[in-house]
Amino acid sequence: MRIEAHWLDIPAVQHVCAMLEAGGFQALFVGGCVRNTLLGFPVTDHDLSTDATPEDVTLLMRDAGLKVIPTGIDHGTVTVVVDDEPFEITTFRRDVATDGRRAVVRFATDVADDARRRDFTMNAIYCDARGEIHDPLDGLPDLRARRLRFVGDATHRVQEDYLRILRFFRFSAWFADPEQGMDPEALDACATQSAGLAQISAERIGSEMRKLLAAPEPSHAAGVMQTTGVLPAILPGADVTALPILVHLEGQLGRRPDPVLRLAALGGESVEERLRLSRKDARRLAAISQAARSEMSPGETGYRLGRVDGPAAIILHAALMGVSVAPATLAAVDQGARAVFPVRARDLMPAHRGPEIGTAMKAMERRWIDSGFRLDRADLLKGGCE
């Protein structure tokens, strides 16, 4: 079987493969680029596997005048830069020992050995520079059926790297057919091994959760995470009840998937620390969550949070209440987001000084918001801070 894809025709792609093959080695693309091409999803990276050792790859590429970076040479990976485009090239490997977070590997010469150490059958499909498919573990039937299965014994695969539990649910949300249900062996492994997630760093867990929640419809996967005990293991107190309603409202209102907003719908204890969110995302999460669970009016929500996060907070509030969002409500949010408070601190001088200015400004702002943003500067200064 051959695949046709525009990325296979990129000169840099062909050049790297030609260099490896000219040296007598295999050059096989694997993982996301092959899987996504077969499923009709966008391709964002081009990972190559080869029976050449990192030293062989380095010599071949440097002899061809290409830049080589030893990004993960201890694990068999070097990065080759061609026409300013990086290619990760990894030597075929087999696991010697694992501890749930990292593996000790040895290089291999057989692509089947390399395939057997991968996580899912749909990720163990390879293709060469001509698009010819190499499927050593017969993963194509699973891929065509949108069926997500671990390679070999599911419990063994999870124990090699507990992050695979979250990858299972993330890949289920993105690529699996929800009508088929999830693989029972995989679910059993994820449920019984979920305590192992305590060994995984907050950064890696947070990255997987954001990717999962960026899927068009992550509700089913998140729901199964909750029932299997996986979600409580990483986010104690989280609840998926509002998530499917939120996703429906996002679609109804034409909003793109927003992982931070969806995290706010899940809730939970110390989310920003447990998922090691960036400062920006942590601030968004806190602002949206607090506004959605407050008595703040739609207009004030738009004024305080702006044209993106104001509607997000309103949508979250509706999802938590299990109701729809009225067009008039969104119009009020938009009005608030566009409103500009007309009074400046200098307008209150010299009648007020120091802390008095802040107190007076807050009182005027409150009157202005309560008026529906109708009072102008003259009205507010005439009324003072009472």
For residues 316 and 184, state if they share a domain: no
CA 36 vs CA 87, 178, 189: distances in Å = 17, 18, 26
Q: How far apart are CA 49 and CA 309, in angstroms?
A: 43
Q: Domain boundary at 117, 144, 171, which?
A: 144
Please check whether residue 129 lies inside any domain of the structure: yes
* Reported pTM: 0.90
Name, in order, each residue with C-beta under 8 angstroms of 368's C-beta and a sequence gap of 6 or more: 341, 342, 343, 375, 380
Please check whether residue 222 lies inside any domain of the structure: no
Q: Which of 4-18, 34-48, 372-386 has the lowest mean pLDDT?
A: 372-386
For residues 8 and 136, state if they share a domain: yes
For residues 61 and 197, state if they share a domain: no
Please check whether residue 229 lies inside any domain of the structure: no
Please check whether residue 15 lies inside any domain of the structure: yes
Q: Supply the range of the domain harboring residue 375.
A: 342-383
CB 186 within 8 A of CB 228: no
For residues 207 and 110, state if they share a domain: no
Q: How far apart are CA 165 and CA 161, in angstroms?
A: 8
For residues 27 and 98, state if they share a domain: yes
Question: pLDDT digit string (tens) for 85-143?
Answer: 889 999 998 876 565 566 667 889 999 999 999 999 999 999 999 999 999 999 999 99
For residues 6 and 133, state if they share a domain: yes
For residues 117 and 168, state if they share a domain: no
For residues 119 and 239, state if they share a domain: no
The DSSP string of 40-93 is: T-------EEESS-HHHHHHHHHHTT-EEEEEEGGGTEEEEEETTEEEEEEE-E
Domains in the chain: how many in total?
4
For residues 11 and 101, state if they share a domain: yes
Please name which of 24, 25, 26, 23 lies closest in space to residue 64, comparing C-alpha atoms: 23
Q: Examine the pLDDT at 359 and tell me if it is beyond 80.
A: yes
pLDDT of residue 193: 97
The DSSP string of 300-367 is: HHHHHHHHHHHHHHHHHHHHHHT----HHHHHHHHHHHH------GGGGTTTS-THHHHHHHHHHHHH
Q: Examine the pLDDT at 215 and tell me if it is beyond 80.
A: yes
Q: What is the mean pLDDT of residues 363-382?
A: 92
Neighbours of 295 (CB within 10 A): 5
Q: How far apart are CA 368 and CA 370, in angstroms?
A: 5
Using the 8-state DSSP alphabet, how is residue 179 labeled?
G
CB 203 within 8 A of CB 273: no
For residues 331 and 348, state if they share a domain: no
Using the 8-state DSSP alphabet, how is residue 101 labeled?
S
pLDDT of residue 98: 63
CB 285 within 8 A of CB 209: no
Question: pLDDT digit string (tens) for 256-304?
Answer: 999 999 999 999 999 999 999 999 999 999 999 999 999 999 999 999 9
For residues 127 and 19, state if they share a domain: yes
Encode 188-203: b = buried (16+ Cβ within 10 Å), e = exposed: ebbbebbebbeebeee
Q: Examine the pLDDT at 167 and tell me if it is beyond 60.
A: yes
For residues 194 and 326, state if they share a domain: no
pLDDT of residue 284: 97
